[in-house]
Structure 1
Amino acid sequence: MPLFMDVHHIAGGVSFDDVTEAHKADLKAQGHHDVHYLRYWVDEAAGTIFCLVDAPDAEAANAVHRTAHGLVADEIHPVQEGA
């Protein structure tokens, strides 16, 4: 399945704890969309969140966010993993 990196920009910053809770909600919702959220990274001060997701397409990845908490990605990029 393809990999995607989605990017969220939250004005005013974001807390790591809030992102952790949103990620937990994603994990609960992902099975309904044939999606697997793998990892996430947070820049609290900049309000930027990066999510690595295994999904059939970008819309399926965003559908999980929409269902779980409503915070859809501002950008979604197809990526390839390297070592």
Structure 2
Amino acid sequence: MALFMDVHTIDGGVSLDDVAGAHLADLATQGQHGVQYLHYWVNEDQGKVFCLVEAPTADAAATVHREAHGLVADEIYPVAEGS
């Protein structure tokens, strides 16, 4: 499987609690698509959310977000883990 970093931009900002809830929904949905959401980062004031995900494809990762809570990423990038 490949690693991807997705980027969400939420107009007006976002709360850490709301993102935590969305992440739990991702975890409940991910197995149906062979996806594993690994970690996320949040900038509340700028409304930015970054999700690190292991998935067979970027589309599979996006499908989990869409089905879990409807907040699909604005961008998704393949990434490699560094040291």
- The alignment's TM-score, normalised by the length of structure 1, stands at 0.99
Q: Secondary structure at the match of 1:24?
A: helix
Aligned partners of 1:17, 1:48: CA distance in 2, in Å?
14
TM-score, scaled relative to structure 2:
0.99
Per the TM alignment, residue 50 of structure 1 is displaced from its structure 2 partner at its CA by: 0.1
Aligned-residue offset at 1:15: 0.1
Report the Cα offset of residue 63 of structure 1. 0.2
Within a 5 Å distance, the mapping from 1:41-60 to structure 2 comes to 41-60=41-60
* Unaligned stretches of 5+ residues in structure 2: none
The reply to whether residue 81 of structure 1 matches residue 59 of structure 2 is: no
What secondary structure does 1:22 align onto? helix
Offset at residue 25 of structure 1 (A): 0.2
Deviation at 1:18, TM superposition (A): 0.2
